[in-house]
Amino acid sequence: MSDSIAGRSLIEITPKKLPQVYAPQAVVIRGVRSDGIHFRVDIGRMCYLERAIDSESFLSSKHYIPGAVNTKSLSLERVEWLRNYLYTAFHKGWRDETLRQDLYCLRYFFHFCDFDGGLKPTALEGLVSEYQRYQNILDQKGRVNSNSSLKPSSILKRLNSARTFIQWAFKLSNNEILALIPKQRSRQSNIVNEGRSVSLHDGQDYLRACATYFNQFADSILNNQYPIPVSPPYDERENLYWLSTLGTSLVSLPNCFTKEGDPLPFQAIKDVLATNFKSKSSGKSEFYDRALVRNRNEWINGRLTPQKVYAYNLSVFCFFQIYLAFTAANVQPTLDLKITDIDLSKVGSSAFAKKHKFRAGRTVRFEAPSHLKREIIKFLKLRAWVETLELPGDCQEYLFVKIGESNKLQRFNRSGGATLIRRSMLFKGLAKISSRDIRQLTGEYFIRKSLGKVSLVAKKLNNSVATTAKAYTSIDIESQAKEMNRYHEELSSQVRYFNRTTGSPLPVSLASEDESERIASGSCTNMNGEIPSRANGFNSKAPEPTCGTFESCLFCEYFAVHEDFEDIHKLLSLREALNATSMIRNDSEHHEAVVKPAIFRIDEILGFVSKNNRGLGGVIRQAEDEIEMGNYNRHWSRQIEILTRLASSAGRGL
């Protein structure tokens, strides 16, 4: 087979425009990553059943290598699959980086299908069979503890990308693909937020350090000052200076400089220098000549030294962290900001910048208190300074740029600060905070300040109320352990139990066939036609029960459930209908007042019956699987179908 492997004709396509006529088997996708680096992905080679094997290094390589194929092994079925997939993907409006990630996941999948004992499928049945085998292998990789193990998020991404390809390649509806391949669920709980590993106190210390270092390093560049005076939060020494490009050591130099910043003669400060060296015999003179004379002269004379590159990049990283903390912004829209997007006159009063959030398909606004204005002004001065260097690169218009390899100007990326602070003494003793941590900390801060008003926090984070409540209101593990986090418990009661007279979960009556009748949301024990009223434990803020408005039955004293599949399936179908209604209305106040209490009550009822009857867990899982397959209870199926159609016409997915 190796004799028949050869090159082929190629055509490069950008995600901005798909040609009307092209050969999918020849396609190489060309685009730009989020950090400004260009990429190419040879996706057309998957149409050939015999091709050069993809090694792990090849698959993960940052460099483009066209794949050799056996041109006689071209599968016309796969050509059609790829054509349908690219048509749909290109009309999704994805970012180049998003499409690139999806294409690489497809490459992994077809590498598995064609090389790892696969069937080399050319039909839907074979592709689904290979998907199931792929899922089993990935699940095994997720369980092993070795270099080949995969994180749950990576497994979920690969499986969902392969599933999406199958759906688009064969033009399947959501119900049709559900019947073949269930939608993969995240392995993280979607009911209870995981506790963070960092506390609000950790975050404040970290951001305070970032603010300090941004000012110290930016001032040293703008004022042409070297070495750089620093003040690490957990170092008790005074008069510390930074000199090393790696930042692995700090030097204490009290009374070693004149008022103008020039170092005193070596003989006058050699004893002070000696306190920074373990050996008393050598090193002081060489350090003085190298760091305080030669390196300082190069810095002051305008040379772009490694020290100055590090200082600039660290300033960018620290300001980026500060910016995220003040604005609670998403990472990628922030990195997409251009200098011309900033309106300084509006900082502290209204939205001072806007950017498109591709993942959500909408525009997000950046707002911040007036304290950020001073930092932005200084950062813009730093950007003006780097422009005077006239470095090569094509990203000068972006707000966040770094000096990369070969002193080339590149777009800053979300992992750009990892190498800067990994071994730095500047961040010793500080918790390493991710961008997501910063948004969660900001969410917690605003939750506390707003006394539990999730809708206000959602507006600040540019998220829906549901997403904010699910992902950005968790409290760190340490705070949970300390004094049972009294404040958060009070806050939680305001958010979750505002319609109750008690903070404890409220039970539900268990129905029997001869003393109740089945209704759309469960069962009703009001056999004598009494006027419905709220169950014991609900106050006037809870929905008032009205016969025929089945979601209000959840709060009625006559509401009951049978411990069987039918009533459990009704409750889960009702929950889906409520979520669909909330998505269509897109009204945070309606969600808070109507939808959220009902969904919380449904979860509470399911928790009560499963705890009361341990054997009911299997029934609940069976009902959840039916919902996942799109099989709803007959009382709610039609309503959900209509809402789904409305959501599609409005451009919203359910």
70-81 pLDDT, tens digit per residue, is 889 999 999 999
Same domain, yes or no: 160 and 238: no
What is the rounded average pLDDT of the residues 596-608? 88
Which of 11-20, 97-106, 496-505, 625-634 has the lowest average pLDDT?
A: 496-505
Question: Are 639 and 529 in the same domain?
Answer: yes
Find the range with the poorest average confidence among 156-170, 337-351, 535-549: 535-549
* Whether residues 535 and 624 fall in one domain: yes
Q: Give 111's contacts (C-beta < 8 A, 6+ positions apart).
A: 53, 54, 59
Q: Is it the case that residue 498 has pLDDT exceeding 70?
A: no
524 and 630 co-located in one domain: yes
Torsion of CA 489, 492, 493, 499, to 10 degrees: -170
What are 588's two structure tokens?
């945070």
Q: What is the pLDDT of residues 199-252, one digit of tens each?
A: 778 888 888 899 999 999 999 999 999 989 898 887 777 888 888 765 557 888
Structure-derived torsion over alpha carbons of residues 457, 459, 464, 468, reported in degrees to the nearest 10? -20
Helix (H) or strand (E) holding 642: helix 634-649
pLDDT, tens digit (0-9, with 9 covering 90-100), for 7-47: 688 888 988 777 888 899 999 998 887 666 788 888 999 99
Kindly state whether residues 170 and 282 are assigned to the same domain.
no
Q: The tokens of 240 are what?
A: 């510390």
* pLDDT given for residue 98 in this prediction: 86
Asked if 383 and 339 count as a contact pair (C-beta separation under 8 A), the reply is yes
Could you tell me if 269 and 140 lie in one domain? no
47 vs 593: CA distance, rounded Å: 52
**pLDDT (average), residues 567-590:** 80
Tokens of 41: 């992905």
Residues 147, 268: one domain?
no
Q: What percent of the chain has pLDDT over 70?
A: 80
Between the two ends of the chain, the Cα-to-Cα distance in Å is 47
Q: Please state the separation of Cα 299 from the chain's center in Å.
A: 39
Question: Is residue 310 included in any domain, yes or no?
Answer: no
Question: For residue 139, is pLDDT > 70?
Answer: yes
For residue 92, tell me if it sits in a domain. yes
- Could you say which of 153, 180, 207 is where a domain stops? 180
Q: Whose CA is closest to 604, among 455, 488, 496?
A: 496
In a shared domain, residues 514 and 605: yes
- Answer whether residue 501 is part of any domain: no
pLDDT at 424: 82
Considering the domain architecture, whether residues 151 and 229 belong to the same structural domain is answered as: no
Per-residue pLDDT reduced to its tens digit, 618-637: 899 899 888 888 888 888 88
State the pLDDT at residue 473. Answer: 56
Domain that includes residue 292, residue range: 225-300
Distance CA 105, CA 103 (A): 5
Can you tell me which residue has the tokens 């698959």? 59
Averaged pLDDT, 597-611: 88
Residue 127: the pLDDT is 94
Examine residue 305 and state whether it is found in any structural domain, yes or no. Answer: no
- Residues 148, 12 within the same domain: yes
Rounded to whole angstroms, the Cα distance separating 425 from 320 reads 20
Within a domain: 335: no
Backbone angles phi, psi at 50, to 5 degrees: -120, 120
Please count the structural domains in the chain. Answer: 3
Q: What is the mean pLDDT of the chain?
A: 80
Chosen domain end from 285, 300, 315: 300
Domain identity same for 533 and 643: yes
Percentage of residues in the chain having pLDDT higher than 90: 23
Backbone angles phi, psi at 505, to 5 degrees: -60, 145
Contact at 8 Å (CB) between 47 and 24?
yes
Residue keyed to tokens 């690490």: 232
Query: How does pLDDT run across 273-315, given as a tens digit for each residue?
Result: 888 777 655 567 888 888 888 988 999 999 999 899 999 999 9
Give yes or no for residue 186 having a pLDDT over 90. no
Q: Is the peptide bond before 543 cis (omega within 30 degrees of 0)?
A: no
> Residue 132: inside a domain, yes or no?
yes
Burial class, 148, CB count within 10 angstroms (exposed 0-12 / middle 13-18 / buried 19+): exposed
In a domain, 639, yes or no: yes
| pLDDT over threshold 70, residue 190 | no
Within-domain flag for 199: no
Q: Is 239 in the same domain as 121?
A: no
